[in-house]
Amino acid sequence: MFFDSHAHLDDKRFDEDRHELIKGLPGMGISYVLNAGADMESSRKSIKLAETYSFIYASVGVHPHDAANMKDSDLKALAELSRAEKVVAIGEIGLDYHYDFSPRDVQRERFAQQLVLAGDLGLPVIIHDREAHGDTLDILRAHRTVLKGGVMHCYSGSREMAGDFLDLGLKIALGGAVTFKNAARPVEVAKYVPLEELLIETDCPYMTPHPFRGSRNDPGLVRLVAERIAEIRGLDAAEVARVTLENACALFGISL
Ligand code: NI
């Protein structure tokens, strides 16, 4: 039984077969999926999916890619959306200095505002950090007193820096990158971060695990992430699945 802690099933790449795909997931051992919002529209769609399927939960938030399009009034709108029963986190929020789709100062401002919002709402956060580890850490540290836990989604930093995020009470989520043939840092992280601090995810439709790279990812493939972490740590995949599921339920306040 698996908890895919980060999916985008609202993505248009699922338009053709979304319902059939989602219906088939419990039969593949997928017990829970968190569908992450990335802008106002996908946040609303995530809630809709969570209302439709019992095993799907939602987060609401604005991704750094979309920070420049975010309006001040969206903060209030996110607070209202977060009242929906199955919204369990604010995210994904953070910094992306790889694509720089929004100016960096705007990214930092919207990230900080959404951290404060999550604190006010008493919700954990889902953090996107791409090539912005230093600034992400600085902003999180500056908001340490408001943080109610959270997860570094699709974590790509070093094992040393993972320790800095753990010190802030955050979990580390690993996805398809840990299965890649050239994976170095994710493998180190999978080896040394305590299992009690790890989550697994797909980030589907992106980040498809080996050996399916190049095709569309979906929550059913989270099994390959668990199997690879188990191999790295010398554990049973079932144990990795069980512990990461319990970790995600605890973080998101979902009773088992
Ligand atoms: Ni994502």
**Sign (positive/negative) of CA torsion 153, 157, 163, 168?**
negative
pLDDT at site 51: 98
* Cα–ligand 1 centroid distance for 207 (angstroms): 10
pLDDT at site 119: 98
Query: pLDDT tens-digit profile of 59-91?
Result: 999 999 999 999 999 999 999 999 999 999 999
Confirm if 94 and 132 have CB atoms less than 8 A apart. yes
Query: What are the residue ranges in the chain where pLDDT is below 50?
Result: none
* Cα–ligand 1 centroid distance for 78 (angstroms): 17
pTM: predicted TM-score of the whole model, two decimal places:
0.97
pLDDT at site 136: 98
Distance CA 95, CA 110 (A): 9
Distance CA 105, CA 135 (A): 11
* Cα–ligand 1 centroid distance for 239 (angstroms): 25
Q: How many CB atoms lie within 10 A of CB 27?
A: 8
pLDDT at site 256: 81
* Cα–ligand 1 centroid distance for 35 (angstroms): 9
Question: Cβ-count burial of 205 within 10 angstroms (0-12 exposed, 13-18 middle, 19+ buried)?
Answer: middle
